[in-house]
Amino acid sequence: MNKWLILIVCSFLTITAQGSENCFLATENGKIIKQEGECTKRHSPFSTFKIPLAVMGFDAKILKTPLEPELAFTPELRQQLGDLFQPNKYPIMKFHEKVQTPTSWMQYSVIWYSQEITKHLGKDNFIAYINKFSYGNKDVSGTPGKNNGLSHAWLGSSLQISPIEQVEFLEKLSKNELPASKNAQQNTIQIIKQEKIWDDWQLFGKTGGSYQTGWFVGWIEKGDRRIIFAQYIEADNLPISAGRIAKEIVKDNLISLIT
């Protein structure tokens, strides 16, 4: 067993032992087909918020195509990020200093690209989209006293969403039924497309979280079947990001649903 698998197995054991806030939820044709844990409690969406943010960006024409616009990392952006930019702690952030497209933004979970989108949206449009999407608790006020809702609301701050609400949002997106243009939704679906997994099922999704909390949300599809899912985990002292672990848990849980 390689190092990666050892870490995952150890993490599974930690998560299973703790477990109080964990949830796995899967639906098919609008019906719950598997539910484990507490799935109604809201949590910060962290980087899973890039999915609705992509829809907003494409709908508002801030994002043009999956490869446009290209944006460069600048010293001003580095200063703006502050403690959010920690490439030594989060090695994937080393990719954040490169020129980014909507596709690479989603792939490498680039915080500053998200903040550029919300900056161009502006506060009023941002709030309007959140309300139209009925996203979680719809609170984008940010950290009390810091006036940072436009740049930080989804990063362990005021905006919260439950696994059930994640699934409801994704159900609409997967069917192009959000209150946004069809093109915006299809472009978003394209940039969250991931690898094929068990028995040639196509995976779509996004991780999010920290070293203590993690999400993996999305869906799998094959032929005329589509299974929407949300996984949320909490655990202490994880050796890798909780989002990566959540993704592996999802893939393991999905086996029983497609065989």
Domain ranges of the chain: 22-256
Report pLDDT digits (tens) over 4-36.
544 554 555 455 445 568 999 999 999 999 999
3-state secondary structure the chain: CCHHHHHHHHHHHHHHHHCCCCEEEEEECCEEEEEEECCCCCECCHHHHHHHHHHHHHHCCCCCECCECCECCCHHHHHHHHHHCCCCCCHHHHHHHCCECHHHHHHHCCHHHHHHHHHHHCHHHHHHHHHHHCCCCCCCCCCCCCCCHHHHCCCCCCCCECHHHHHHHHHHHHCCCCCCCHHHHHHHHHHCEEEEEHHHEEEEEEEEECCCEEEEEEEEEECCEEEEEEEEEECCCCCCCHHHHHHHHHHHHHHHHHC
Report pLDDT digits (tens) over 192-209.
999 998 889 999 999 999
Long-range contacts (CB closer than 8 Å, 24 or more residues apart) made by 72-78: 72/99, 72/100, 73/97, 73/98, 73/99, 73/100, 73/112, 77/112, 77/116
pLDDT above 90: percentage of residues in the chain: 77
Report pLDDT digits (tens) over 145-160.
999 999 999 999 999 9
Number of CB atoms found within 10 A of residue 101's CB: 20
Catalytic site positions: 47
Q: Is 46 left (phi over 0), alpha (psi -120 to 50) or beta?
A: left
Q: Which CATH superfamily is domain 22-256 in?
A: DD-peptidase/beta-lactamase superfamily (3.40.710.10)
The predicted pLDDT at position 4 comes to 54
